[in-house]
Amino acid sequence: LLGRLKDQTLVREQMLVGGKWSSEGVNGTRINVLNPSTMDVLASLPSAGLAEVRASIDAAKAAQKKWARVSAKERSLIMRKFYEEVVANAEDLAVILTSEMGKPLAEARGEIAYGASYIEWFGEEAKRVYGDTIPGHQADKRLLVIKQPVGVVAAIAPWNFPSAMVCRKIAPALASGCAIVFKPAAETPLSALALAILAERAGIPDGLFSVLPTDNARMFGEEVCSNPVVKKLTFTGSTEVGRILMAQGAQKIMKLSLELGGNAPFIVFDDADLDQAVEGAMLSKFRNAGQTCVCANRIYVQSGIHDRFVEKLAMRVSALQVLDGFESGATIGPLINDEAVAKLYGHIDDAVTKGATVVVGGDRDARGGTFVQPTLLSGATKDMKVAREETFAPLAPVFKFDTVEEVIELANDTEFGLAAYFFANDLRNVWKVTEALEYGMVGVNTGLISTELAPFGGVKQSGFGREGSKYGMDDFLSMKYVCMGGI
């Protein structure tokens, strides 16, 4: 890894505990960070224990008090410097990302730019935390609303976007005047640590942003949910873990943002533009090797366009290049671990046993390890695992349908509600389907919806809270109503 970097100091085998870099945790345990493509050990990091979590929370408390008093303009300028550091070091950050997570370097570069855009956006939004004045209910009263930072925030992130998930959480937290104690996934802590180094260089004050990789995620969750100093938790991960954290946070009525699992429907109606729909399916399904929470999980295609769609999609899926993320032309890297591979083949076997047809792929990749063949199935039905569970792998199951009513019912028949996509041109149908889909985000004639300018988040068991857009700041602010009397 180091040989590939322009600036080798961006990789540190340390954790950042309340402004102090530390090579040794009190528990003495360590985390080996692996390259999922080669299984080489990239780094050996100290694992944070309870003492480090508490020290970070205490430092965050002190740092946050000072940070909240810094003017919004000054905070915004420091964040602008942070953004510029990220942009200036984008190539190294992308290399670190591909090394620890496996995604193709081109996608890693995209993720770094995408993550940076949140730092830029929220740095600007820092200056726009407006309140309200409200006409009084009595002649001598004046009513105001002011917004204040919630205080110390904890964050827990997954491995699938090791860099962008950090940016999406720390940017609104820092912009709104909060401090943040961040736990990256143990599989991918190096990207978060590299961002912390750049934050430090940009002048983000010590203690405001801690990074604590740990082999004991449960301990971290329990501490931040019970420690009275921590006022909010922002979590991205599985619905199962989200449920645990919500129950733990209930003890202190904790403010939460939860971005949980998805099971995105991707619907193609007869009047869709075929090429656009195929392109959208490729982006939505196979980006990040299918390992995103907004990836199309179920592809519903109306009977009139079905065979042509499957044929075109098959050509595109066959052309995907399963390669190490650093090899040129790579479009699908390795999956994150053996469990992910087992889940994928469990879904394929279940579907085939219940009558689905393998159109492309379906087998192990010749490279071995966690490299898998991108797979296209036709003849999928609602009794299959692919209809109910998030596959999180490059598997595209195609379901045939006839009517609009039928597909809306199928699309909504899940406990999840994160992203949905559909391709259609009849304007009335477009509105009807948009309104009927029980999802937090809907892509119409596009397979790619994520941007810092829009509110990202779900409904139902996909969670609540929004990341990005003017709404994203609200998750880190408390509203205070002020009633001034005797005027």
Phi, psi of 283 (to 5 degrees): -70, -45
Interacting residue with ligand ADP among 26, 217, 358, 477 (CB under 6 A):
217
Phi, psi of 353 (to 5 degrees): -60, -35
Closest to ligand ADP by CB, 64 or 236: 236
* Binding positions for ligand ADP, 450-479, rule CB under 6 A: none
Helices H / strands E in the chain, number of each: 14, 20
Interacting residue with ligand ADP among 10, 126, 241, 282 (CB under 6 A):
241
For ligand ADP, what does the binding mask look like between residues 177 and 196, x meaning CB under 6 A?
------x-xx----------
State the nearest-atom distance from the C-beta of 43 to ligand ADP, in Å.
17
- Using the contact rule CB under 6 A, the part of the chain among 2-10, 54-62, 203-211, 238-246 near ligand ADP is 238-246
State the nearest-atom distance from the C-beta of 244 to ligand ADP, in Å.
5
| Largest Cα span, the chain | 79
> Could you say whether residue 412 binds ligand ADP (CB under 6 A)?
no
State the nearest-atom distance from the C-beta of 96 to ligand ADP, in Å.
18
- Using the contact rule CB under 6 A, the part of the chain among 77-85, 140-148, 218-226, 377-385 near ligand ADP is 218-226
Interacting residue with ligand ADP among 237, 397, 417, 465 (CB under 6 A):
237
Interacting residue with ligand ADP among 38, 238, 337, 381 (CB under 6 A):
238
Closest to ligand ADP by CB, 78 or 154: 154
Closest to ligand ADP by CB, 221 or 265: 221
Q: Of the candidates 371, 364, 367, which has an alpha carbon nearest to the alpha carbon of residue 332?
A: 371
Residue 340: alpha-carbon gap to chain centroid: 17
Place of tokens 């006409």: 135
Place of tokens 């390890």: 369
Measured between alpha carbons, how far is 116 from 98 in angstroms, rounded to an integer?
Answer: 17
- Point out the catalytic residue in the list 100, 111, 125, 259: 259
> Could you say whether residue 216 binds ligand ADP (CB under 6 A)?
no
Closest to ligand ADP by CB, 68 or 217: 217
Strands of 61-191, DSSP E: 132-134, 142-149, 152-156, 179-183
329's tokens: 């032309």
Interacting residue with ligand ADP among 213, 221, 362, 468 (CB under 6 A):
221
For the sheet with 230-236, list strands across it: 20-22, 15-17, 209-211, 179-183, 152-156, 230-236, 255-259, 463-464
> Could you say whether residue 218 binds ligand ADP (CB under 6 A)?
yes
Measured between alpha carbons, how far is 218 from 352 in angstroms, rounded to an integer?
Answer: 37
* Binding positions for ligand ADP, 118-177, rule CB under 6 A: 156-158
DSSP code, position 356: -
4's tokens: 């590939």
Q: Of the candidates 56, 178, 169, which has an alpha carbon nearest to the alpha carbon of residue 119?
A: 169
Angle at 98 between CA 390 and CA 299, to 5 degrees: 25
Place of tokens 């997954």: 158
How far apart, in Å, do the first and last CA atoms of the chain sit? 66
State the nearest-atom distance from the C-beta of 185 to ligand ADP, in Å.
4
Place of tokens 């998030």: 390
Closest to ligand ADP by CB, 165 or 473: 165
Closest to ligand ADP by CB, 296 or 430: 296
- Using the contact rule CB under 6 A, the part of the chain among 56-64, 200-208, 234-242, 438-446 near ligand ADP is 234-242
State the nearest-atom distance from the C-beta of 233 to ligand ADP, in Å.
9
Q: Of the candidates 7, 111, 100, which has an alpha carbon nearest to the alpha carbon of residue 45?
A: 100
* Residue 259 known to be catalytic: yes
State the nearest-atom distance from the C-beta of 53 to ligand ADP, in Å.
11
Q: Of the candidates 151, 218, 141, 201, which has an alpha carbon nearest to the alpha carbon of residue 180?
A: 151
Phi, psi of 332 (to 5 degrees): -135, 120
Q: Of the candidates 160, 88, 157, 141, which has an alpha carbon nearest to the alpha carbon of residue 119?
A: 88
Q: By rule CB under 6 A, what count of residues binds ligand ADP? A: 15
- Using the contact rule CB under 6 A, the part of the chain among 33-41, 46-54, 239-247, 416-424 near ligand ADP is 239-247
Closest to ligand ADP by CB, 267 or 336: 336
Closest to ligand ADP by CB, 237 or 457: 237
Interacting residue with ligand ADP among 229, 244, 442, 449 (CB under 6 A):
244
Indicate the pairing of strand 255-259 with strand 230-236.
Answer: parallel
Closest to ligand ADP by CB, 93 or 157: 157
Residue numbers annotated as active site: 259
The residue ranges that bind ligand ADP (CB under 6 A) are 156-158, 183, 185-186, 217-218, 220-221, 237-238, 241, 244-245
